[in-house]
Structure 1
Amino acid sequence: MGDKKYKEIFQIMETNLSNFLSQVSIPETEGKVTDFNNEEFWRNLLKIADKLGFECNKATILWTNKPLPSPEDMHAVCGAAELASVALLNSFHSFPGFTQGQTVKEYLKTGITTVLESMVRFANILLQSVGKKYSSPDDHPLVQQCGVVMKYCDSLKVLPQQNSAAVAAKLLSHAELIKDALRELEEAKSSETFMEDFECDENWSETDQIILSPMLGMIKTCGALTKKTLDAAKKSDPSDSLKIDSLPSLFKNIPELVDNLSLSLYPPLDWEVSKKEAWLLKDSLENIIAELHNILGVGHLGWLEFVLKAVKHNTATIQAILIQHGMAQLQLTDTDKPSEEQS
């Protein structure tokens, strides 16, 4: 009889938490928000997260120790955990992404989703453990899951709380990928045993070494552009929160383009493939720089022009090497992009 009551409690809890989880994806309705206080929002959100962790810990202690609590007591602690979960959901939906920024809300959505997913799992373990015996409380799977819930609740504390920080975090992930690709290539270029470690029998020829330098220069320029844009996002005025929301999507293809170019540069080096990948990256960089003029404004024109000159310099150097080796013609378009004959 007791097991049946426990199962009813835990089944209802799992159903409710699953419903809460599904509601995270409800789209935000754009509306006028005049009294939103960002600091107060995050302070309250983290209090709710701490409360949820506390209630999960309380439920875990009650359920994993003897004697078992009464169904009424278990219902009470499970209800408190549900209330904290729905409060977390409501807090998320109170965040106005249309005024504070969609990138920071995207981070928040991911964090809340992770917490609620762990809570659904918590309720499921409660349900599945009814009637089962464990040698000690520490062997109960609920103990481990409680730790997971508390970890994810704590992870909300390290989320970016301003859109400028959220955008910078997105760009930082791109910058790190570019840095890794460049580092590995430079290690391979400077080490005599690097290629042997990967069981590669071939190495770069002296001719390959000639074109490798400006190709690496193109990747370095890409890294510099990403880093400078990241710094600009960090220092952006709060009034520009919505404007900088477009930066992550503007750079979203850069890691793949850099990866494709860097992979094409390993021996045996196929110049035609590397040339194609370099021009794709070049085109993307020039388009990004043109967009950044509009997004970041006149205060950033100096370094944007400097990066653009670096792109053009590397392009011209690559083109000159290709011409020297009969792989391109001395003819550029008005935008310095190689013509069809060259590519």
Structure 2
Amino acid sequence: MSADNSCPDVSVPLRNLLNFVQCIRDRVKDGESNESSGGFNLQNFWETLNQAVKATSQEATKLSLAFSKPPLPSPQDGERFAESIQKSVLALSTVYYWLPKSQGITMRRMVREATVEVLEGIVQLIDIILSTPLQSLSQEQLTSTGGVWSACDQFVHLPKDNQAAVLEVLASYSGVVKDAISEMEQAQAESHDPFSDVLEEEDLDSRGNQDTYWSEADRQLMAPCQGLMKASAACLKKLSAAIKANGKVDSPENIAQLDDLADITKEISPSVDDLALSLYPPMDYSGVELNACKLASILKKILDITRASHVCLEGDLNWVQFLDGAVDHNLQKVKALVQGSS
């Protein structure tokens, strides 16, 4: 850091403030909530949290404006600015700690990440104020101040209970899976043997599996693998609909079941990606089978957990059983084609 923006009298409270906010940020990253035996009011939590976020945004703006042009704040004013931000940051972190895990780990994780982002933004703002010349409002300081505003603004859009939080993460997983399916379909549509128009048919047959295109045997194996990928997308879609229609946050048990569904479904998208990557030429059949087995195992586990949860009503058993059968069918087809090729 340069000393351009900091005569010793003003820089000391700012440096102390920087250390304080960094400490609070690190504690929020790793800290646990204060589980209390008393009643917890979720609506009151959100109202208080939004007030704390608004106050933090306002204090950060005041600090930025105070150091946006000469003359420097007096040492006494510098102390006051630092104390005001300390209070707002402490209030924000304290309200975050009110939120117990029993309200939902998925929602709590989102609130924690949003809180940390605000604190990161304030750390960056103070750091820039300390390190840039005090001539006019620098672009870095302007950008950093906007970053704090943006981090604070996102609280309005956070899911307000664990049902909404789980639906949000499932939607993100679903988007990744759909992208993987689309990319694989596009690759298939564009792929062809670059030598197919210059070689005789019998020569093509003897070329086997080349590094740049799929053989006919490869394409046959891809079909059930894509079936597993589509079953993954269908599972996320159907489960999301069931959670939206039947999900409850009226008891710790039901909230925990929603968290379990969020935790297990996060394994879908990386497993779909692994399977998709193993399908590109040159195709290693044993690797394809291994990834297909892994994805099928995850889907079967999700369907079992869904079946046993409160979101699965009698009418939902049909799609659960259908997808369970589809997973088995496609996996058996993969195994048969791999064994037949060896």
| Residue-pair matches, total | 316
Deviation string 1:134-153 (CA, Å, 9 cap, x unpaired) is 3x32x264332211111111
Which residue of the other structure, out of 122, 126, 131, is the alignment partner of 1:128? 131
> What is residue 334 of structure 1 aligned with on the other side?
none
TM-superposed CA distance for 1:61, in Å, is: 1.4
Q: Distance in 1 between matches of 2:105 and 2:81?
A: 35
> What is residue 174 of structure 2 aligned with on the other side?
175
1:260 to 1:117, Cα distance in 2 relative to 1, 3 A: same
> What is residue 20 of structure 1 aligned with on the other side?
24
TM-superposed CA distance for 1:37, in Å, is: 2.6
1:20 to 1:305, Cα distance in 2 relative to 1, 3 A: same
Identity of aligned residues (%): 27
> What is residue 117 of structure 1 aligned with on the other side?
120
Deviation string 1:135-190 (CA, Å, 9 cap, x unpaired) is x32x2643322111111111222222210111122222222221111111101112
Q: Distance in 2 between matches of 1:166 and 1:28?
A: 18
Runs of 4+ in structure 1 off by over 4 angstroms are 192-196
Q: Distance in 2 between matches of 1:242 and 1:29?
A: 18
> What is residue 79 of structure 2 aligned with on the other side?
75
Which residue of the other structure, out of 95, 105, 123, is the alignment partner of 2:108? 105
AA matched with 1:304 = V
Q: 5+ residue gaps in structure 2?
A: 1-5, 196-209
2:90 is the counterpart of 1:86? yes
Q: Distance in 1 between matches of 2:34 and 2:193?
A: 55
- Give the TM-score taking structure 2 as reference length: 0.84
CA contact (8 A) 1:282 1:311 kept: yes
2:216 is the counterpart of 1:206? yes
CA contact (8 A) 1:164 1:233 kept: yes
1:192 to 1:262, Cα distance in 2 relative to 1, 3 A: closer
> What is residue 296 of structure 2 aligned with on the other side?
282
> What is residue 12 of structure 2 aligned with on the other side?
8
TM-superposed CA distance for 1:27, in Å, is: 1.6
Q: What RMSD in Å do the two structures reach over aligned CA positions? A: 2.4
TM-superposed CA distance for 1:86, in Å, is: 0.9
1:107 to 1:194, Cα distance in 2 relative to 1, 3 A: farther
2:159 is the counterpart of 1:160? yes
TM-superposed CA distance for 1:206, in Å, is: 2.2
AA matched with 2:318 = G
2:319 is the counterpart of 1:303? yes
TM-superposed CA distance for 1:66, in Å, is: 2.5
> What is residue 305 of structure 2 aligned with on the other side?
291
AA matched with 1:256 = P
- Give the TM-score taking structure 1 as reference length: 0.84
1:113-262 maps to which residues of 2 (within 5 A)? 113-129=116-132, 132-134=133-135, 136-137=136-137, 139=138, 141-192=140-191, 202-235=212-245, 236-239=247-250, 240-262=254-276
Q: 3-state SS of the aligned residue for 2:50?
A: helix
